[in-house]
Amino acid sequence: MSKTLVIGLIIFSLVVVIGSYYFLFNGQKPQPAIISYSISDKERPKIQAKITYFDLGKMKVSDDKSADFKIKNIGQKTLQISNVSSSCNCTFGQIIIDGKESELFGMHNISDFAGEVLPGKEATVRVTYRPSIMPVYGIIEREVYISTNDPENSKLVFKVKANVN
């Protein structure tokens, strides 16, 4: 084999390996595995969400409104948040941890997102309602759902209410 052919095969192989990696992982690092705990574990994550309901008030169909819900990990282990989804195509959930915003998650999102909140730290669950996507008038309620690895609160619901006119 000639030296040029060998170098060409090496370069081609590198391109295939690197391209495969980016194709499989979208250029992002793999998300951490969800660690599960039982209620009997003394050291475990524990989520605190003092407010899970917010009235957005009156709004027009053309408006977008959001409510931010604070959550805190009052446990001894890292709290993991995953499976963010919503009750309607017009409602979106977003997780904000240490100032970093996740993508928007809607009703039909399938995601491998797993956010981590260290013990004693807070995060934000942002619920955004966009009535123009599916116009409905009057009083509505929409929800965003999250899963956590807190065995006492493995599923949480954050609800917003609005009066659309």
User: In degrees rounded to 5, what are phi and psi of residue 115?
Assistant: -90, 150
Residue 37 lies in a domain: no
My answer on whether 24 and 86 are in the same domain is no
What are the residues facing 79 on neighbouring strands? 117
41 found inside a domain: no
Are the beta carbons of 108 and 132 closer than 8 angstroms?
A: no
Same domain, 24 and 55: no
Report which of 127, 120, 118, 122 is spatially closest to residue 146, judged by C-alpha positions.
127
Query: Which CATH number covers residue 78?
Result: 2.60.40.10
Shared-domain flag, residues 93 and 132: yes
SS (H, E, C) the chain: CCHHHHHHHHHHHHHHHHHHHHHHHCCCCCCCCCCCCCCCCCCCCCEECCCCEEEEEEECCCCCEEEEEEEEECCCCCEEEEEEEECCCCEEEEEEECCEECCCECCCCCCCCEEEECCCCEEEEEEEECHHHCCCCEEEEEEEEEEECCCCCCEEEEEEEEEEC
Is the predicted pLDDT of residue 23 greater than 60, yes or no? Answer: no
Q: Which amino acid is it at 52?
A: T
Instruction: Dump pLDDT digits (tens) for 46-76.
Output: 999 999 999 999 999 999 999 999 999 999 9
Name the pTM for this structure: 0.80
Side-chain half-sphere of 64: how many Cα atoms within 13 Å? 8
Q: Which domain holds residue 132?
A: 47-164
pLDDT at 27: 47
What average pLDDT does this structure show over 84-112? Answer: 92
Q: What is the pLDDT of residue 14?
A: 58
Do 2 and 66 belong together in one domain?
Answer: no
Please count the structural domains in the chain.
2
CA distance 38 to 28: 31
